[in-house]
């Protein structure tokens, strides 16, 4: 640390330049201008300004964290931290100010988004000199404040940062929140008081900040033991109560949230269903399958062919077709499994990729058109009926997914901790040794492929019933990739991870619709950041704890700590 001290200024300049460069990039792709009038806190600051300043401040913060002296002598070095923040902020905003050249030279030849609107935002709608001074001043001040935040005690700092994040998030999601809460009666009126026409009212922002801060403070006062997950560490009855509570909330969601959210949720549900299946193949057994959409297609098409009056002389009902769809998916899993048994790693990925394409192309082909409908797909697919009740709205489909997920998650969870689950894990770790332990790799791998295929096929059948139609183009490669991504984001081999991954990867982009064409930019950046910061996933697989004798608990703790240490090492 001592040797780094002289370079602290150089470092601050570099950090500022980096942050400024990112801010320029975001300005030139048009994000800043697009959100220029979109207030986070009404009358105070806009989304555009947040986008402008956030990269600089994030860089300043992480930069300070890297070079700051150890806590022991932090008080003595406080002025250094503040000064470093000021300098970084100034450099960053100065770099950003370079964009104002556009006022004199026409940058729009190359950068369409270097518009007067952007310059207006940069100069805070003042004339050039004054605006420039305000911009530099704001940058410097914000940088210095960031340094100040860093100097806060750890607990206060996290309270402050979380409060700030939530204010931005709530302000950003203003429209959604107002729409959803619209139907909540008296509560809606209260909530409405928080929001202006665009973004939060200043008072609302303060209330949210204080609320989140208080919650955070209360949570940090709880002893560590209690904060461990109720689902994994509680006593048996606590666990069941938690599960029942979660189930109740899930059942109540659609009527509370309305149609828009139900649609998003059933989309998420579909991906969870597939995710749990692929998690068995990839996460448990370590078989990289890139053609997973094939089974989804097979499930959907089986239901389509059997229930649509277009293609079938005696159309079946959804429930009659369901077992056929599952069996055919299972067989397809085995058919894919057999030829690729000997393959590992990259080769397996390519072979499965081919399988996925074959299935899609078959569905698309003219050759099978009389049976599968070719490019036109299949329409008039039957929807499930329970007694007199026909399930045909989004909200009802949500329940179908919920039941499916419940069954599938239960099966996956039980299998994971079983003899078969261990077999898969052993094959994933070292196939040769697993064979030497008497494991029959053929049956174990086929079991993994077949189970995954059935789950995916089930998702396909509900998908077909939900839309009452299937088309070859919904069965494209990106579905497989999305499912794989959500598993990786959630944490390989972790069942709760699949849920989190699907919510983040499938649900969040829907909520970010407002970002329009920038949606995938944000999304991609988030993915990259996520893989750099937390490569083990959002909810990594916690190695199950065996019932141990008391003296063994300490050793167990070490083992768990060991996972956390090593999983931070992507090179492992």
Partner 1 sequence: MAVLVAKSVTKRFGGLEALSNITLDVKEKSIHSIIGPNGAGKTTFFNCVTGFYTPEEGEIRLNGRNITGLSPDRVTRMGIARTYQNIRLFKNMTTVENILVGMHPHLKSGVIGAILHDPRTTREESDAVEEAKRLLSFVGLKGKGDMLAMNLSYGDQRRLEIARAIASKPTLLLLDEPTAGMNPSETQEMMIFIRHLRDEIGITILLIEHQMRVVMGISELITVLDFGVQIAEGTPAEIQGNPRVIEAYLGRGAASGLGQKTAVAAAAA
Which stretch, 246-254, 480-488, 529-537, 552-560, contacts partner 1 (CB under 8 A)?
552-560
Decide whether 100 or 563 has the Cβ nearer to partner 1: 563
Q: Does 232 contact partner 1 by CB under 8 A?
A: no
Could you tell me the smallest distance in angstroms from the CB atom of residue 466 to partner 1? 27
User: Tokens in use for 309?
Assistant: 């009056």
Decide whether 441 or 534 has the Cβ nearer to partner 1: 441
Number of H helices, E strands in the chain: 27, 4
CB 88 within 8 A of CB 12: yes
Q: Does 103 contact partner 1 by CB under 8 A?
A: no
Residues ≥6 apart with Cβ < 8 Å to 404 = 269, 273, 458, 459, 462
129, 370, 549, 571: residue in contact with partner 1 (rule CB under 8 A): 549
- Write the DSSP symbol of residue 382: P
Site residues for partner 1, 309-328, by CB under 8 A, read none
Could you tell me the smallest distance in angstroms from the CB atom of residue 12 to partner 1? 40
DSSP-assigned states of every residue in 403-418: HHHHHHHHHHHHHHTS
Please report how the helices 345-364 and 477-490 are oriented relative to each other, as an axis angle in degrees rounded to 10: 140
Site residues for partner 1, 372-411, by CB under 8 A, read 410-411
| Burial (0-12, 13-18, 19+ Cβ within 10 Å), 118 | buried
Q: Does 419 contact partner 1 by CB under 8 A?
A: yes
Q: Does 545 contact partner 1 by CB under 8 A?
A: yes
Q: What span, in angstroms and rounded, lies between the C-alpha atoms of 80 and 17?
A: 19
Decide whether 87 or 434 has the Cβ nearer to partner 1: 434
Q: Which residue has the tokens 């988030």?
A: 526
Which stretch, 58-66, 71-79, 207-215, 540-548, contacts partner 1 (CB under 8 A)?
540-548
Q: Does 228 contact partner 1 by CB under 8 A?
A: no
164, 173, 331, 439: residue in contact with partner 1 (rule CB under 8 A): 439
Q: Does 239 contact partner 1 by CB under 8 A?
A: no
Could you tell me the smallest distance in angstroms from the CB atom of residue 142 to partner 1? 44
Q: Does 345 contact partner 1 by CB under 8 A?
A: no
Helix (H, G, I), strand (E, B) or coil at 343: coil
426-456 b/e (C-beta count within 10 Å ≥ 16 → b) = bbbeebeebeeeebebeebbbbbbbbbbbbb
Could you tell me the smallest distance in angstroms from the CB atom of residue 456 to partner 1? 18
Neighbours of 52 (CB within 10 A): 27
Which stretch, 38-46, 288-296, 366-374, 431-439, contacts partner 1 (CB under 8 A)?
431-439
Phi and psi at residue 46, to the nearest 5°: -105, 165
CB 170 within 8 A of CB 177: yes
Q: What span, in angstroms and rounded, lies between the C-alpha atoms of 301 and 295?
A: 10
Could you tell me the smallest distance in angstroms from the CB atom of residue 549 to partner 1? 8
Could you tell me the smallest distance in angstroms from the CB atom of residue 492 to partner 1? 11
- Write the DSSP symbol of residue 289: -
CB 351 within 8 A of CB 290: no
44, 54, 415, 522: residue in contact with partner 1 (rule CB under 8 A): 415
Annotate each residue in 113-152 with x if it binds partner 1 (CB under 8 A) or - if it does not, as one string. ----------------------------------------
- Residues composing the chain: 572
Neighbours of 507 (CB within 10 A): 16
Q: What span, in angstroms and rounded, lies between the C-alpha atoms of 115 and 162?
A: 34
Radius of gyration of the chain (CA): 27
Q: Does 246 contact partner 1 by CB under 8 A?
A: no
Which stretch, 100-108, 366-374, 428-436, 482-490, contacts partner 1 (CB under 8 A)?
428-436
Decide whether 109 or 558 has the Cβ nearer to partner 1: 558
Could you tell me the smallest distance in angstroms from the CB atom of residue 366 to partner 1? 40
Q: What span, in angstroms and rounded, lies between the C-alpha atoms of 412 and 86?
A: 53
Could you tell me the smallest distance in angstroms from the CB atom of residue 425 to partner 1? 6
87, 303, 336, 447: residue in contact with partner 1 (rule CB under 8 A): 447
Helix (H, G, I), strand (E, B) or coil at 570: coil
Decide whether 106 or 429 has the Cβ nearer to partner 1: 429
Which of 497, 505, 539 minimizes the C-alpha distance to 523? 505
Q: Does 251 contact partner 1 by CB under 8 A?
A: no
Q: Does 570 contact partner 1 by CB under 8 A?
A: no
Q: Does 423 contact partner 1 by CB under 8 A?
A: yes
Site residues, partner 1 (CB under 8 A): 410-411, 414-415, 418-423, 425-426, 429-430, 432-441, 447, 543, 545-546, 548-549, 551-552, 555-556, 558-559, 562-563, 566
């Amino acid at each position: 640390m001592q040797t780094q001290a002289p370079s602290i200024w150089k470092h601050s300049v570099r950090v500022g330049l980096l942050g400024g460069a990112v801010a320029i990039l975001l300005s030139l792709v048009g994000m800043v201008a697009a959100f220029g009038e979109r207030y986070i806190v009404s009358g105070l600051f806009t989304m555009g300004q947040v986008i402008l300043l956030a990269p600089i401040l994030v860089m300043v913060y992480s930069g300070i964290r890297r070079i700051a002296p150890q806590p022991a002598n932090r008080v003595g070095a406080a002025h250094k931290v503040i000064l470093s923040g000021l300098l970084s902020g100034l450099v960053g905003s100065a770099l950003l100010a370079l964009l104002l050249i556009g006022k004199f030279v026409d940058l729009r030849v190359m950068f369409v988004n270097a518009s007067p609107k952007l310059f207006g935002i940069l100069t805070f709608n003042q004339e050039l000199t004054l605006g420039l001074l305000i911009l530099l001043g704001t940058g410097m001040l914000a940088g210095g404040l960031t340094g100040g935040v860093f100097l806060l005690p750890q607990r206060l700092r996290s309270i402050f940062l979380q409060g700030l994040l939530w204010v931005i998030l709530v302000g950003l999601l203003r429209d959604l929140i107002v729409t959803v809460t619209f139907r909540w009666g008296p509560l809606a009126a209260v909530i409405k008081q928080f929001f202006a026409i665009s973004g939060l009212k200043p008072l609302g922002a303060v209330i949210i900040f204080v609320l989140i801060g208080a919650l955070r403070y209360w949570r940090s006062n709880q002893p560590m033991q209690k904060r461990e997950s109720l689902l994994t560490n509680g006593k048996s009855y606590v666990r069941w109560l938690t599960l029942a509570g979660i189930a109740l909330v899930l059942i109540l969601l659609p009527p509370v949230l309305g149609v828009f959210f139900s649609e998003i949720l059933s989309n998420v549900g579909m991906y969870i269903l597939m995710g749990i299946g692929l998690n068995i193949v990839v996460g448990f057994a370590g078989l990289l399958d890139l053609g997973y959409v094939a089974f989804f297609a097979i499930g959907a098409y089986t239901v389509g062919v059997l229930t649509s009056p277009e293609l079938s002389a005696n159309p079946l009902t959804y429930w009659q077709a369901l077992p056929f769809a599952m069996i055919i998916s299972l067989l397809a899993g085995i058919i894919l499994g057999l030829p690729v048994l000997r393959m590992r790693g990259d080769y397996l990925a390519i072979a499965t990729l081919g399988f996925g394409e074959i299935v899609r192309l078959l569905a698309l082909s003219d050759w099978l058109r009389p049976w599968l409908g070719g490019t036109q797909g299949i329409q008039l697919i039957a929807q499930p009926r329970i007694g007199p009740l026909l399930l045909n709205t989004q909200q009802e489909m949500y329940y179908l997914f919920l039941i499916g997920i419940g069954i599938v998650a239960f099966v996956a969870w039980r299998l994971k901790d079983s003899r078969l689950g261990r077999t898969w894990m052993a094959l994933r770790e070292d196939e040769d040794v697993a064979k030497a332990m008497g494991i029959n790799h053929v049956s174990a791998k086929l079991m993994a492929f077949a189970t995954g295929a059935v789950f995916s096929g089930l998702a396909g059948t509900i998908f077909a019933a939900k839309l009452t139609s299937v088309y070859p183009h919904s069965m494209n490669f990106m579905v497989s990739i999305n499912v794989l991504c959500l598993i990786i984001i959630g944490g390989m081999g972790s069942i709760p991870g699949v849920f989190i991954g699907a919510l983040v990867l499938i649900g969040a982009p829907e909520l970010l619709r407002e970002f329009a064409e920038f949606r995938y930019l944000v999304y991609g950046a988030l993915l990259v950041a996520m893989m750099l910061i937390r490569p083990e996933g959002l909810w990594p697989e916690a190695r199950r704890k065996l019932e141990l004798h008391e003296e063994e608990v300490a050793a167990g703790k070490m083992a768990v700590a060991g996972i956390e240490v090593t999983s931070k090492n992507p090179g492992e």
